Amino acid sequence: MIISELVRVQEEEGWISPDAARSMASRLGVPLHRVEGVLSFYPHFRRTPPVRIEIAACRDMACSLRGGRALFQAAKALASADVIVREVSCLGRCDDAPAVFINGIPLHEATADKLVRIMRGEEPCPTADPLPPPRPFFLPSSDLAPPPPPQTVDPDKVIAALKEAGLRGLGGAGFPTADKWSLVRKATSTPKYVICNADESEPGTFKDRALLEGSPHLVLDGLALAAQVINAAKGIIYLRHEYDRALRALSKALAERHDLPCPVEIFVSPGGYILGEETALLEALEDRRGEPRNKPPFPGTSGLHGQPTLINNVETLAAAATIWRRGAPWWNAQGVRGSSGLKLVSVSGHVVRPGVYEIPMGTTVSELIGMAGGCTGKLLAFAPGGASSRFLPADKADTPIDFGSIQAAGSMLGSGALVVVAEGTDMHDLATNIVRFFRNESCGKCVPCRLGGERAVVILEEVAAGKRGRGDLALLDEIEEAMRLTSICGLGQVALQAALSIRDRFSSSP
Ligand code: SF4
Ligand code: FES
């Protein structure tokens, strides 16, 4: 109620004034601190009146690799009373790097010249993109028309098919999907909920956006299947607010569906990377600050409003629908080199054609880089799983992309976000950029994460400035250990992984 009211007021008035917050508190019958607590947590809510032009430039890894900082500085130099220029966290458009939004709308192929012309009023601000043509993923033509009428599914058969296909969560954690569905199915308390986590926000990650925009029906198929298996009373799609085109595509697809086994609604997140953490997302849905919960209990037994809740990533649901429709043997046969299934990978950084690529699981990193047009220079390094994964050197590019092989090579597949780095890149700067991201996005609930991220950034910056020797980078080990062992969610646990891998594997790079 508080979040939806804040969204409504901001839509109507452009911002949330102190008076608006006070009158909302009395209208809703809640103390002002409840409204302020929510309002101050989410970056989407504006506390000052809007200006003529607001430029949001991404400062994170994929954009930084493609000139984001210079673009920001060029725009910042022209900021004025009615033109605000600010740096923001990953916008989920790492394939269009450096990513820039103007008044909340993506500016494609942003250049300093283009920005300057818009700021001077010589060129119009961008307008919302039209819906893209359907882009069938996993299953050719699956999404070109609404699917056939619903059939009653046998939950045990669905779970058996997912197990046979070995499907794992494709949002980063890699938890076996069949086990998750089975756990929630067996929970006896009702009502139950199913949630599609469409809040991808990690630098380098944007494949769910492509899936939601191009194949929304396939995602709804997966949600409907999951709802049938666990007997859900309600489905929710938790979508990041920057994904306006995905929102329109999903809303259109939802309006076309009359076969869903339960009501499905879209919740537009008011923002923050941490909201992709499944218990933080539940807190937002329950109208509180999006801070992760202590676990256990896990959402499968005690999730939304304390009820059993199945939370799956967008791609996981789409893959589940495909497996159920085509069968596990078909799915397994799609992989190569002993792997099974298909995988969407976001490819960004120093490649000729950044984008989302659908590959047979087991495709090598170098093959995928080739599909993306090759590295723009001589390959130096790559991160296979976005900002939270450890960087690997070029001589590991023959590693097949699957959970086990990437792990054996010394990193992790995560959600499947290949970030490519060419020789000549300042790797220390890249490490600092990544740690800054996690520092900025920490919700601050646990002390080790809140302070550790900041300490790590200071050390990295002081080494770069020559105030400390490189030997002081050894201090990062202690910080990393404390964060990994004591943080209550994955953000704090992985925040320094990429930086440590860069320190250990690329110390001779500039
Ligand atoms: S680890 Fe960091 S992001 Fe996660 S709950 Fe703790 S402070 Fe918040
Ligand atoms: S949009 Fe810049 S890193 Fe993702």
Q: In this structure, what are the phi and psi dihedrals at residue 24, rounded to the nearest 5 degrees?
A: -65, -45
Inter-residue long-range contacts of 329-334, CB under 8 Å, 24+ positions, other chains counted: 329/164, 331/165, 331/167, 332/164, 332/165, 332/166, 334/360, 334/361
Task: Give 483 Cα–ligand 1 centroid separation in angstroms.
Answer: 9
Check residue 120 and give its pLDDT: 87
How far apart are the C-alpha atoms of 415 and 113, rounded to whole Å? 35
Check residue 497 and give its pLDDT: 95
Q: Please name the amino acid found at residue 72.
A: F
Q: Please name the amino acid found at residue 473.
A: L
User: How many of the other CB atoms lie within 10 Å of CB of 112?
Assistant: 17
How far apart are the C-alpha atoms of 500 and 431, rounded to whole Å? 8
Residues 87-120 have pLDDT tens digits of 999 999 999 999 999 999 999 999 999 998 998 8
How far apart are the C-alpha atoms of 207 and 318, rounded to whole Å? 12
Do 335-422 and 53-119 have the same topology in CATH?
Answer: no
| Closest ligand 2 atom to 62 CA | 3
| Closest ligand 2 atom to 205 CA | 4
Average pLDDT over residues 139-157: 66
Check residue 508 and give its pLDDT: 64
Check residue 148 and give its pLDDT: 57
How far apart are the C-alpha atoms of 438 and 454, rounded to whole Å? 9
pLDDT at 449 over 70: yes
Mutate to test the pocket of ligand 1, among 281, 291, 447 (most ligand atoms within 8 A of CB): 291
Check residue 213 and give its pLDDT: 96
Q: Which CATH architecture has domain 427-505?
A: Up-down Bundle (1.20)
Q: In this structure, what are the phi and psi dihedrals at residue 109, rounded to the nearest 5 degrees?
A: 45, 55
Check residue 136 and give its pLDDT: 83
Closest-approaching ligand to the CA atom of 383: 2
Give the pLDDT band of residue 138 (cuts 50, 70, 90). Answer: confident
Residues 206-254 have pLDDT tens digits of 999 999 999 999 999 999 999 999 999 999 999 999 999 999 999 999 9
Residues forming a β-bridge with 381? 393, 421
Cα torsion at 221, 199, 91, 97 (round to 10°)?
-50
User: How many of the other CB atoms lie within 10 Å of CB of 37?
Assistant: 13
Give the pLDDT band of residue 146 (cuts 50, 70, 90). Answer: low
Domain 155-328, what fold? Rossmann fold (3.40.50)
How far apart are the C-alpha atoms of 446 and 186, rounded to whole Å? 33
Pick the CATH number of 53-119 from 3.30.2020.30, 3.90.870.10, 1.10.260.40, 3.40.30.10: 3.40.30.10
Average pLDDT over residues 285-299: 95
Sheet with 264-269, edge to edge strand ranges: 264-269, 234-240, 193-198, 309-313
User: Can you tell me which residue has the tokens 């995560």?
Assistant: 414
**How many residues are recorded in the chain?**
510
pLDDT at 86 over 60: yes
Domain 335-422, what fold? Ubiquitin-like (UB roll) (3.10.20)
Of all residues in the chain, the percent with pLDDT exceeding 70 is 97
| Closest ligand 1 atom to 447 CA | 7
Check residue 149 and give its pLDDT: 53
Average pLDDT over residues 339-353: 97
What's the whole-number average pLDDT of the chain?
A: 94
How far apart are the C-alpha atoms of 61 and 40, rounded to whole Å? 26
How far apart are the C-alpha atoms of 96 and 354, rounded to whole Å? 8
| Terminal Cα-to-Cα distance of the chain (whole angstroms) | 51
Q: Report DSSP state, residue 410.
A: T
Q: Please name the amino acid found at residue 102.
A: I
For ligand 2, residues with CB inside 6 Å are: 58, 60-63, 90-91, 93-94, 97, 99, 203
How far apart are the C-alpha atoms of 360 and 293, rounded to whole Å? 36
Mutate to test the pocket of ligand 1, among 487, 493, 494, 496 (most ligand atoms within 8 A of CB): 487
How far apart are the C-alpha atoms of 92 and 209, rounded to whole Å? 8
pTM over 0.75: yes
Closest-approaching ligand to the CA atom of 417: 2
Cis peptide bond upstream of 296, omega within 30: yes
How far apart are the C-alpha atoms of 290 and 222, rounded to whole Å? 26
> Where in the chain are the domains?
2-41, 53-119, 155-328, 335-422, 427-505
Closest-approaching ligand to the CA atom of 453: 1
Contacts of residue 351, defined as CB under 8 A and 6 or more positions apart, other chains included, come to: 369, 372, 373, 374, 375, 376, 420
Mutate to test the pocket of ligand 1, among 202, 282, 446 (most ligand atoms within 8 A of CB): 446
Residues 360-394 have pLDDT tens digits of 999 999 999 999 999 999 999 999 999 999 999 99
